[in-house]
Amino acid sequence: MRSLARNPSYLQVTPLALVILLFLLFPVITILVVSFWDFNAYQLIPDFIFDNYSFLLTSEVTLKAYLKTFFYAFTTWAITLSLGFTLAYYLAFYIRSPLLQGVLFVLCTVPFLTSNIIRMISWIPLLGRNGMVNSTLLETGLIDAPLEWLLYSDFAVVLAFVHLYALFMVVPIFNSMMRIDRNLIEASIDAGASALQTVFQVVVPLCKSGIAIGSIFVVTLVMGDFITVRLMSGGLSASVGVLIHNEISLLQYPAAAAGAVVLLLTVMLMLSVLFRFINIKKEL
């Protein structure tokens, strides 16, 4: 007690430490412990076996699920980065009025105030076989038969991901661009740089932190998502999240825990590679 009284900083950090311990470390440790248990059709059997990991790491189904998940993550990241950077650049450098910037930014966030499920379901009557897109294309004579790949396909999954997570890329990039000194842009133009040279040699390096933070959000959200893949693919595609969800539905908790641990390590490895290219603490 005397040491705590002499060091009040310990008292300040204790509540946060307890919250992290209770809601972050304890669940992760529990999942890690359960991943080594055995199970049958009726119960969980406390044990220390590696069967769950050996099956997971040698299964062809798991390999295909990870490849599909990486495809979704990389494709969604590339599209959201392109769209997010373009939109943030327009708002930051082409809209001069702060009031208009705020209004347009709020308009960008309005669709994200609804449920993710509702936003995904809204694509079904639009992209379905008899949906608005196919009906319009058929009436205009651009196609002779409905396009089957618009819905319940990888295209639909990626489209839904971009719709769901684009804002997570726009916001951090926009915040980074708003902190850029406009004199640097003018100096680049005065030095004879073209618009593209100014963007790639001045703007992009100065908003690396926003790009990194947006990338972290998008990649981690896509890697752990299972509802979007299951709904928009019609059950025809599988991701790591879908496999874990299926194992939980079948009460195979140790196998699901092993899958969650491997997925967590995979995401942490991807983030560690990203952190090697940028020091977010220093940039912020």
pLDDT value of residue 165: 92
Q: Which of 14-23, 194-203, 215-224 has the lowest mean pLDDT?
A: 14-23
Q: Which pLDDT tens digit goes with each residue over 58-87?
A: 989 899 999 999 999 999 999 999 999 999
Strand partners, 38: 45
Q: At what angle do helices 240-249 and 208-224 cross, to 10 degrees?
A: 40
pLDDT value of residue 66: 93
pLDDT value of residue 33: 94
Q: Which pLDDT tens digit goes with each residue over 229-250?
A: 988 988 888 889 899 999 988 8
pLDDT value of residue 114: 80
Could you tell me the pLDDT band of residue 3, with boundaries at 50, 70 and 90?
A: low
How many CA within 13 A on the CB side of residue 249? Answer: 7
Chain centroid to Cα 92, Å, comes to: 24
Q: Which pLDDT tens digit goes with each residue over 117-147?
A: 888 888 888 888 888 888 888 888 888 888 8
Dist. CA 64–CA 178, nearest whole Å: 41
pLDDT value of residue 141: 84
Dist. CA 146–CA 133, nearest whole Å: 9
Dist. CA 240–CA 2, nearest whole Å: 50
Could you tell me the pLDDT band of residue 155, with boundaries at 50, 70 and 90?
A: very high
In the predicted structure, residue 13 carries a pLDDT above the cut 80: no
- pTM as predicted: 0.87
Count of CB atoms within 10 A of residue 31's CB?
Answer: 18
- In three-state secondary structure terms, 120 is helix
Could you tell me the pLDDT band of residue 41, with boundaries at 50, 70 and 90?
A: confident
Tokens read off for 85: 């950077």
Dist. CA 251–CA 45, nearest whole Å: 13
In the predicted structure, residue 1 carries a pLDDT above the cut 70: no
DSSP secondary structure of 29-76: HHHHHHTT-EE-SS-EE-----HHHHHHHH-HHHHHHHHHHHHHHHHH
Amino acid at 32: L
Could you tell me the pLDDT band of residue 6, with boundaries at 50, 70 and 90?
A: low
Tokens 């992209």 belong to residue: 127
| Average pLDDT, integer, range 34-40 | 90
pLDDT value of residue 16: 80
Where do the domains of the chain lie, and which CATH numbers do they carry?
59-283 (1.10.3720.10)
For 158-209, give the secondary structure using H, E and C. Answer: HHHHHHHHCHHHHHHHHHHHHCCCHHHHHHHHHCCCCHHHHHHHHHHHHCHH
Amino acid at 51: D
Task: Look at the alpha carbons of 214, 219, 224, 227 in this order and tell me if their dihedral is positive or negative.
Answer: positive
